Amino acid sequence: MDEHVMEALGKAKVIIKGGKVVDIGEPLIDYCPLFHKYRGIEKLTPQVIKENMEFRIDDFGMCTGQRKMKMADFLSFGISETLGTLLDEKVIQCAVIVCEGCGTVIVEDPELVQGIGGRISGIISTSPINEVINVVGSNKVLNPENAQINQVKGVIKAIRDGYTKIGVTVASAEDAGKIREIESENKDVEIYIFTVHTTGLSFKDAESLFEDADVITACASLQLRKIAEKKDVFSVGASIPIYAASEDGEKFLKMRIEKIGGLKDKKDAKIPNPLI
């Protein structure tokens, strides 16, 4: 039976087997403004998280062979949306991201990037789902046999497949550092690093990400917010900021702002609680 492990709302560990939620851990935070805004969730609890996971399974087939893979650009702001814009504008040729049922994948279609990354995040491990792999294309999956998640190997595969302008999502400072080393060894290749799933990051890792990444989402990270404030970096969003950690990152975020016709000022923005 296929098994999918993710860190979902509030970074609670969730296990899904055969299309059923079989285990939910305790969330690390109590409140997320995104889920309050979009799903009306005022307090994160295992039961609420279970219900949200079941909603996703029913709504778009998360972790099943009925997975709806593509999603149109709804002019919101996030990592997958920004990657989609960069693909649209031919700034990058592909995005190396993670999809349940596939693991690490190489994607060229902006609507596929949005459909995968805009609906789900924090995948720790997954199992192959043939229907999902077939949509992505088995030649675009790092390892169709076991649905391995390894963003460093995904970048290496993308380079071997001939891509020279690559966007990649990472969830660790270690991966970001390794990918920068790969870039330095491949002079004709440009790699842009987008950091996701950062709640609970250490100060050391947060510092490292501001050295190696291009774009960083703050999630509920206290350390990222501290460093970003000190560095006075360009950012988008008040509740859960997305930071430009490089000049390229700032350019990318501004491209996305232009694409969606500007940003509205948000008064009295709520933030995750607690920040950790």
In a domain, 273, yes or no: no
Alpha helices in 108-191 (DSSP H): 110-117, 130-136, 151-160, 173-185
Host domain of residue 48: 1-64
Backbone angles phi, psi at 128, to 5 degrees: -65, 135
H-run or E-run covering 5: strand 3-7
Convert the pLDDT of each residue in 245-261 to its tens digit.
Answer: 999 999 999 999 999 99
Block residue for tokens 């250490």: 202
Convert the pLDDT of each residue in 57-110 to its tens digit.
Answer: 999 999 999 999 999 887 688 999 999 999 999 999 999 999 999 999 999 999
pTM of the predicted protein model: 0.97
Convert the pLDDT of each residue in 159-182 to its tens digit.
Answer: 999 999 999 999 999 999 999 999
Judge if 178 and 44 occupy the same domain.
no
In a domain, 274, yes or no: no
Judge if 176 and 242 occupy the same domain.
yes
Judge if 242 and 181 occupy the same domain.
yes
Q: Which two tokens stand for residue 75?
A: 């002019």
In a domain, 140, yes or no: yes
In a domain, 267, yes or no: no
| CA–CA distance, 64 with 55 (Å, rounded to integer) | 13
Judge if 126 and 209 occupy the same domain.
yes
What are the C-alpha distances in Å from 90 to residues 30, 43, 179, 237, 251? 40, 41, 21, 25, 14
Judge if 150 and 73 occupy the same domain.
yes
Judge if 78 and 211 occupy the same domain.
yes
